[in-house]
Chain A
Amino acid sequence: MTGNAPILELDRLGKVFSADGHSVAALDDVSLAFTRGECHAIVGESGSGKTTLANLVLGLIGATSGEIRFDGATLGRSRTREQKRAIQLVQQNPLSALNPRRSVGASIRLPLDVHDLGRRSERDARVASLLQEVGLEPEHARRSPRGLSGGQRQRIAIARALACEPELLVLDEPTSALDVLVQARVLQLLQRLRQERGLTYLFITHDLAVVRAIADRVSVFQKGRLVETGPVETLFSDPKSAYTRELIGAIPVVTEAEAALRAAIRAGAPVPAGAE
């Protein structure tokens, strides 16, 4: 779409887990490119390899084969401080992602101290402005995460990731533990932050409706293999693989328009672009 060089490239990436003589290919020969500034969704069910992919990109595990390139440079398991800073994570479960015995402010300030960002005396002010950026109050810095709602905690986790001044955010099911109304607000926040900060998102989810709402591109994984990749509109108007059709066909929907789209996809007919 944009002529930009990709920010993140996966080149024939593979990961094999072995235990007790058995080995399982969690990720099998995957090549993908992530364009700077886009929201690229990774979709799949359990065992699809989407979590393995995220862990490889974050450097939490090492690849068995293939290569990860970030900004043109090869990324291995051991990374420079700078490389760590550039790729950040927002986890699925906001209840466990914040230390219950540290204040919200301490959690957000940690990356500033680790990476020595800004002057020491200005860091508390930076924490306050990050809190405001994610729609919270500066006063939240003094509070304990206990007693905050799931949505508030997820906003704090986002603020902590932003404190690193990252280029790529790995969003691992960031809204699937949230209620519908809270999810909508958090998705909007993520949308806004991406535009304002020019962030690139690697958005892991099982929810294709969320993909439709927020992603530019989508890659569908099944059992460690990439089965389909392309712009979001194409995936929903003319899914190429039978597995993608099965996934869309299984989504519980709430409107007649969605039901009609789903019926068409189940039947295998291409849906005219822009059909609502």
Chain B
Amino acid sequence: MSEPGSPVLASRTRSKAWTAYSADPLSVIGLVIVVAIVGLAIFAPFVTPYPDHVGPTGDFAAMNAAPSADFWFGTDVIGRDLFTRIIYGYRLSLIMAIVVLAIATPIGVIVGLVAGYKGGWTDYILMRITDVFLAVPPLVLAMAIMGFLEPTLLNGMLAITAMWWPWYARLIYNVTRAEAQEGYVLAAETVGASTAHILFREILPNCWPSILTKMTLDIGFVILMASSLSFLGLGVQPPTPDLGSMVADGAKYMPDAWWLTVFPAIAILLVVLGFNLVGDGLREAFEAES
């Protein structure tokens, strides 16, 4: 009766997913970029040459210095090391992205699960609300919110969160609608399981691949969005190092002090690209797994 097979099947499918992931060189490049950026951000105080340049004061002896052995990416108008500030900028961006997604994802996932499983009026009301949010262009919505609120780090995150959860609601709604047709949901119902059990213990685990993939892709996009807001002066305020503000400030000194704009811009590009490559790789790996 019993078939020969590994008793630890879970690890076998996991390794299958890893094989699929590592087979694609772009996914591996993405992972290297992400690991490098996250590592630099976490250990910023130890890996940056001038950790005290985070604040409002720099090295006045080296204002507007071009890239050199001392200052790899050059310095800004008050002599702060750009490399140091970019790494700290990464730190802030990553924290923002994580906080935004940590709030937006659960809201969106719960709305999507309930609407997708319950159907009827619940579905109609929840999804129409979601659609209203989705209908407004994200940056416009965030700018509108920021227009009412003071431009602070916290409010910036709030604005981005408000425009982010509907995407998760839509995604999880669609996954839930499909999963609800599966026999295992019917089985849980006939066995007498509660709605909470069916939503969170039966359907949610099957949403994880979609959620993880989207979150990974979104870290890059949230960083981009936050940078756009601060580029417009609606986000983080000086002297906190922020990639978007650095690009904006540096733009005034183009093309003479080109490094002030080019390096932060490349930094944004790199982090968005890295998370995107990892997200795409994850999507394909999850597909290979099932």
Given the known inter-chain contacts A91-B183, A101-B206, please indicate yes or no for A114 contacting B193, CB distance below 8 A: yes
Partner of A136, one of B2, B9, B192: B2
A258 touches B (CB below 8 Å): no
Contact A96 B184 (CB under 8 A): yes
- The smallest C-beta distance from A179 to any residue of chain B, in angstroms, reads 14
Number of chain B interface residues as a range: 20 to 34
- The smallest C-beta distance from B128 to any residue of chain A, in angstroms, reads 22
B140 touches A (CB below 8 Å): no
- The distance in angstroms between the C-alpha atoms of A161 and B190, with both chains bound, is 9
Number of chain A interface residues as a range: 35 or more
Contact B206 A97 (CB under 8 A): no
Q: Which of chain A's residues have a CB closer than 8 A to the CB of B205?
A: 99, 101-102
Q: Which residue of A lies closest to B2 (CB)?
A: A137
- The smallest C-beta distance from A47 to any residue of chain B, in angstroms, reads 20
Q: Which of chain A's residues have a CB closer than 8 A to the CB of B129?
A: none
B256 touches A (CB below 8 Å): no
Q: Which segment of A82-90, A225-233, A266-274 sits at the interface?
A: A82-90
A193 touches B (CB below 8 Å): no
Contact B290 A100 (CB under 8 A): yes
| Chain B window 230-268, contacts with chain A (Cβ cutoff 8 Å), 1 for yes, 0 for no | 000000000000000000000000000000000000000
- The distance in angstroms between the C-alpha atoms of A149 and B13, with both chains bound, is 16
- The smallest C-beta distance from A90 to any residue of chain B, in angstroms, reads 9
Q: Which of chain B's residues have a CB closer than 8 A to the CB of A60?
A: 186, 189-190
A152 touches B (CB below 8 Å): yes
- The distance in angstroms between the C-alpha atoms of A110 and B197, with both chains bound, is 10
- The distance in angstroms between the C-alpha atoms of A177 and B12, with both chains bound, is 26
Contact B187 A160 (CB under 8 A): yes
B188 touches A (CB below 8 Å): yes
Q: Which of chain B's residues have a CB closer than 8 A to the CB of A89?
A: 186-187, 190
Contact B193 A99 (CB under 8 A): no
Partner of A110, one of B3, B182, B193, B290: B193
Q: Which of chain A's residues have a CB closer than 8 A to the CB of B188?
A: 110
Q: Which of chain B's residues have a CB closer than 8 A to the CB of A149?
A: 3
Q: Which segment of A140-148, A214-222, A246-254 sits at the interface?
A: A140-148
Q: Which of chain B's residues have a CB closer than 8 A to the CB of A77?
A: none
Contact A114 B191 (CB under 8 A): yes
- The smallest C-beta distance from A254 to any residue of chain B, in angstroms, reads 25
Contact B183 A144 (CB under 8 A): no
Q: Which of chain B's residues have a CB closer than 8 A to the CB of A143?
A: 7, 9
Given the known inter-chain contacts A101-B205, A137-B2, A140-B2, please indicate yes or no for A146 contacting B13, CB distance below 8 A: yes
Interface residues of B (CB under 8 A from A): 1-3, 5, 7, 9-10, 12-13, 182-184, 186-194, 197, 201-202, 205-206, 208, 290
The 8 closest A-B pairs by CB, nearest first: A97-B183, A96-B183, A101-B205, A99-B184, A84-B192, A89-B190, A111-B191, A96-B182
Some 30 contacts from A to B, beta carbons below 8 A apart, are A60-B186, A60-B189, A60-B190, A81-B192, A84-B191, A91-B183, A96-B182, A96-B183, A97-B186, A99-B205, A100-B290, A101-B206, A101-B208, A102-B201, A102-B202, A107-B187, A110-B193, A110-B197, A111-B191, A111-B192, A114-B194, A140-B2, A143-B7, A144-B9, A146-B9, A146-B13, A147-B9, A149-B3, A152-B1, A164-B191
